[in-house]
Structure 1
Amino acid sequence: MTENTHRGGLVSIGELSRVTGVPVRTLRFYCDNGVLESRRSSGGHRLFDPLTAVDQVLLVRRLRMLGLSLSAIIEVLTGTLTTADAIAAERAALDTELGLLSWRRASLRAVEEAPPAERARRLELLASVHDRHRAHDTLVTFWRTLLAPIPPALFDGFVTMNIPHLPDDPTPQHIVAFAELTTHIADPACTAAMSRQLWRTNPTRIHDKLALVTGVAEACAAVDSLGTQPHTGPELDRFIDAHATARRDRDTPRLRYRLLDDAPDNDPRIHRYWKLTTEITGTTTAGAALDWLYRALAQWADDVHPR
């Protein structure tokens, strides 16, 4: 028992500081902020139970070194949060912060590396999508509106394949492509072209939109696995059948010609949208599959049933 140890087994703040290596002023700070409990002597000095206080102070110091907030540490000490959960929450918050910093760094580099004549336009473009989560949500909303009434499971699959998430450490090129992509869909002419690529007509003329979206998705999935030049076959037949079913029609040359005539697939806005998406995702998109099906339909018209 030292000179700073009091009756009842309690220790002074100086003794607790000596044992734990934590400065007295820090211990006072912990007490004042509700992190560490103490009692008062008759003279008003802080006293601590060495059986619990030492372990608590050491735990607080270690958690603080990992960057945990005092509020999280208090929850750990009171048992409302486990140490593992507190650390997991801090890591998740750090991951989010690092993602924001990576986005910001890549954005700064994108402006810095732009030719002087393009720098002002680049700055304006990137400023319009400074919040990448909101920009991603804008893309999701765009497609949710366009694809309604697609089932949630099918839509989630479409999102995974066709709406890009930026990598954890994006390049300036990724940032610029993503920014241009999200501003691209703000153009009503682009929205109209993308709608026509999907429906091949005014959407109000489609009797069964769900059947069309489902059937076209199946045709696109089949195309994605081919990796060949466009040609007539079961993939194109499935595509035509989806449109016929949705229109309460049959697969006839007349329908095929109508789908070909109504196709906007050569619209540069569509090509630009899917090109930007591919630059970010690095994967085959629905746009590439739809283009394959359009060219297969054109091949059918030229080689099999010339007008």
Structure 2
Amino acid sequence: MGYEAARQRSQGGGAASQSTASGGPEALDRLRLVRSLRSLGLAVPEIRRALDERGDADRALEDAVAGHLRTLGSQLAALRWRDAALRLVQESPPHERPDQLRLIGTVTVPPSTAPLARFWRAWLPPRLPSRSVTAFLAATVPAPPDDPTPAQVLAFARLNALTTAPCPGSARPQPEAHRAADARGAAVLYAALAEAYDLAAVDLRRDQAPGPGEALDCFVAAYTSAYGTRDTPGFRRLLARQLTADPRLDRYWDLVTEVITPAGGRPEPTPGSAHDWLLTALTDQTAA
């Protein structure tokens, strides 16, 4: 018997109600349904709401099951994270365990990317359009692995500590080349840089040495578009000097690489590694 039919029979009036009261087949159907849902972990209030729904009972059951699946997903993610963290402690030399436990203890379970997002929001220029901020965060904030290795747990914990530590000075080390743009120019700049980084990532995956090409031209065009200037050899030399002198976030991108790279896998390009590749190509070109 289907769920809807069982619900209707269990809630029917007259003879059906009398049959339920006397322990008839309707009551048995209802009891079996409750037992099945309880064996799957659904709470009694959820089951009661689904059984008492007078509209679309099947939809009510689907909603209850979907909510329980979300809860289970969060619980499983937390268990996988704890399992990898415990294996990290188990496998580490005794003298390293106190620092590792301190780092791991600062990360919520399951881990949250909110501290990383706050770090970048403080780094970005003010009044940047919200869709530009969203796109930027999607590219720069790595999602915690679904089934992490001990090394990935440690890398994410270090990344969390890096982004929550007090920043020396009064502001985040944003490149001067970025701070000079207004809000509109910054939005143009970051959108174009994302395209250049995607192009450079293709060359990185091919193990191609930094050099001239579409990726480098797109990289330079990101800055010329933001500042309304022309792409000339002189501008490229100036840009190379400025970007070389600007503060760097190498440690952040090194840790991101560890977080997103599976055990034994090939390191995936990040915006940081793509930027380094492009800056090397630009520096080599202007030096030549």
Q: Which consecutive unaligned segments of at least 5 residues does structure 1 have?
A: 1-35, 38-45
Aligned equivalents of 1:215, 1:202: Cα separation in 2 = 13
Match of 2:116 among 120, 139, 161: 139
Higher relative contact order (CA 8 A, sep 6+): 2
Match of 2:40 among 66, 71, 87: 66
Are positions 1:270 and 2:245 aligned together? Answer: no
State the 1:264 CA deviation: 4.8
Aligned equivalents of 2:162, 2:237: Cα separation in 1 = 30
Equivalent position SS for 2:287: helix
Are positions 1:281 and 2:260 aligned together? Answer: yes
TM-score, normalised via structure 2 length: 0.77
State the 1:172 CA deviation: 1.1
TM-score, normalised via structure 1 length: 0.72
Aligned equivalents of 1:160, 1:238: Cα separation in 2 = 20
Aligned equivalents of 1:202, 1:189: Cα separation in 2 = 19
Distance change (3 Å), C-alpha of 1:144 and 1:174: same
Counterpart in 2 of 1:222? 199
Equivalent position SS for 2:42: coil
Match of 2:282 among 297, 301, 306: 297
Aligned equivalents of 1:86, 1:293: Cα separation in 2 = 50
Q: Deviations over 1:77-124 (max 9, x none)?
A: 102663333223222211111111111222222223221111111111
Are positions 1:96 and 2:77 aligned together? Answer: no
Q: Which consecutive unaligned segments of at least 5 residues does structure 2 have?
A: 1-9, 12-19, 262-267
Deviation >4 Å, runs of 4+: 154-161, 264-267
Distance change (3 Å), C-alpha of 1:287 and 1:119: same
Counterpart in 1 of 2:4? none
Q: Which amino acid aligns with 1:54?
A: L
Structure of larger gyration radius: 1
Aligned length: 252
Equivalent position SS for 1:112: helix
1:260/1:298 contact within 8 Å kept = yes
Counterpart in 2 of 1:233? 213
Aligned pairs for 1:188-199 (under 5 A) are 188-189=167-168, 192-193=172-173, 195-196=174-175
Aligned equivalents of 1:264, 1:113: Cα separation in 2 = 40
State the 1:296 CA deviation: 0.6
Counterpart in 2 of 1:18? none
State the 1:274 CA deviation: 1.1
Aligned equivalents of 2:199, 2:166: Cα separation in 1 = 31
Q: Deviations over 1:36-74 (max 9, x none)?
A: 99xxxxxxxx94462531211111111111111100110
Counterpart in 1 of 2:177? 201
Q: Deviations over 1:249-307 (max 9, x none)?
A: 3223333233222225897x62221121112213221111111110011111221xxxx
